[in-house]
A and B are shown apart, each in its own frame.
Chain A
Amino acid sequence: MIPAQFDYLAPTTVEEALAALAEHGDDAKIIAGGQSLLPVLRMRLNAPEFVIDIGRIDSLRGVSDDGDAIVIGAMTTHVDVGKDPLVAEHATLVTKAIEHLADAQVRHRGTFGGALAHADPAGDLGAPALALDAEFVITGSGGERRVAAADFFEDFMTTAIADDEILTSVRIPKHTGWGAHYEKFVRVAHQWPIVAVAATVKTDGGTISEARVGLTNMGSVPLRATSVEQALVGQPATDDAVRRAAASAAEGTNPPSDLNGDADYRKHLATVLTRRAVLAAAGA
């Protein structure tokens, strides 16, 4: 399978990329690592006239410390984010999610920003970004704006990024010392999760003092299990207590039904995986 013909542009600065977007607008598509886009182009589900490759913009790569937050450049590959010591220390949940994201070859090529901008509800990074209250830095001709994770994911594969804008980095507030776990349920290795749960918790002497829980593939966008988060506060990190809190994990969700399982099955999975993820995050 070969993509339809397109013209290829390879800007080396964000300004050049924005100029290319402004010129070609609706007919253009940005390629980051290409691990999601190329299969789409090969299957001809999309056939843009222009492909703008932002892989040669060096300023979009790397992780930096910015006081209360760490900043992950949009074009930082999964493998580089997964091995980054700043991420491991301050956003452990991201490190955990990347361990089981796709496979090694895809992690070498795919990018943090590309996967989030693709916004597949079964993607592994949306729920952690949501749970950690990440902020998305989106750049357009008028400059930068920041969008909260809760507002970034608008619908199935639809984000707050406008046609003439580029996601340039993601800021993650530091969650230093929080335990974290990403519990992913798959039928086949290296596939998208049927359901996955991203949990990060702060514990104090065996008691959970704060909790954040994100759900993957439980609706058209990543979701927060806020009722579970609230129910966990002040609870001991024991199987019984966490099981009770996790019982409401599927509240307000609208999961898909497909060959891997119907919506009710996914709702059940969400409660089980939430319990496992929270217990593992709490080190219990």
Chain B
Amino acid sequence: MTKIEVTVDGAKVSDEVEPRMLLVQYLREKLGKTGTVIGCDTSNCGACTVHLDGRSVKSCNVLAVQADGHEVTTIEGLAKDGALHPMQAAFHECHALQCGFCTPGMVMQSIDLLNDNPKPDEQQIRQGLEGNLCRCTGYHNIVRAVQTASGQEVNK
């Protein structure tokens, strides 16, 4: 077992974990943060995307021990004082989900995308989300949500 100290959604936690434990397992099984989901479990689909020190990563492809001393933000850490994060609000407004399974990862990656490029065009949005799969193929409304959150004109 290895001792780790991680800041997760603003709260410092310390734990003893097996080195082989994946970050996504740690978040879900040890911290109960089941808002971050496991989709493909092969680092393809992006459903498990969280922010590590402010940048998006696939948490099924990071070991919990690698996060020692670092800061993790999950989908559960976005809303402040009961108010949705603007990206969550935009997903809600644009109905950017069908079954909803990819949504936590899509929201986290969309926030990273706008942090990097506050006014992406449609092509840049689609490319920026290429590591996130929506098996309902509901991409159009997801693109509209990112356009809305970035204060840009929305595709008809």
Residues of chain A at the chain B interface (Cβ within 8 Å): 1-8, 10, 31, 34-35, 38-39, 41-42, 51, 53, 55, 79, 102-106, 108-109, 189-190
Contact = CB atoms under 8 A, between A and B. Distances in A.
B130 interface: yes
B77 to A, nearest CB: 17
B150 to A, nearest CB: 16
Contact of B128 (A2, A5, A8, A104): A104
Contacts of B62: 34, 38, 109
Contact of A2 (B25, B46, B127): B25
Contacts of A108: 52, 55-57
B46 A53 contact: no
Given A53-B65, A53-B66, A106 B41 contact: no
Given A38-B61, A105-B109, A108-B55, A5 B20 contact: yes
A1 B41 contact: yes
Nearest to B54: A108
B65 A79 contact: no
A4 B20 contact: yes
Interface string B19-32: 11110010000000
Nearest to A103: B131
Contacts of A51: 19
A39 B109 CA distance: 21
Contacts of A103: 46, 130-132
Contacts of B52: 108-109
Contacts, number: 85
Nearest to A83: B116
A2 B25 CA distance: 9
B90 interface: no
A190 B63 CA distance: 22
Interface in B9-60: 18-22, 25, 41-43, 46, 49, 52, 55-58, 60
9 contacts: A1-B41, A38-B62, A42-B22, A103-B130, A104-B109, A106-B43, A106-B61, A109-B57, A189-B130
Instruction: Give chain B's interface secondary structure class.
Output: mixed
Interface residues of B, number: 33
A34 B65 CA distance: 12
A282 B2 CA distance: 53
Interface string B63-94: 10110100000000000000000000000000
Contacts of B57: 105, 108-109
Contact of A104 (B18, B22, B113): B113
- The 3 tightest CB contacts between A and B, nearest first, are A103-B131, A8-B19, A189-B130
Interface centre among B42, B63, B65 (most CB of A within 10 A): B63
A212 to B, nearest CB: 27
A152 B21 CA distance: 33
Nearest to A189: B130
B13 to A, nearest CB: 18
B49 A105 contact: yes
Nearest to B20: A3
Contact of A106 (B65, B66, B127, B131): B131
Contact of B65 (A10, A102, A189): A10
Contacts of B65: 8, 10, 53
Contacts of B66: 31, 34, 53, 55
B43 A104 contact: no
B130 A2 contact: no
A41 to B, nearest CB: 8
Contact of A8 (B2, B46, B60, B116): B2
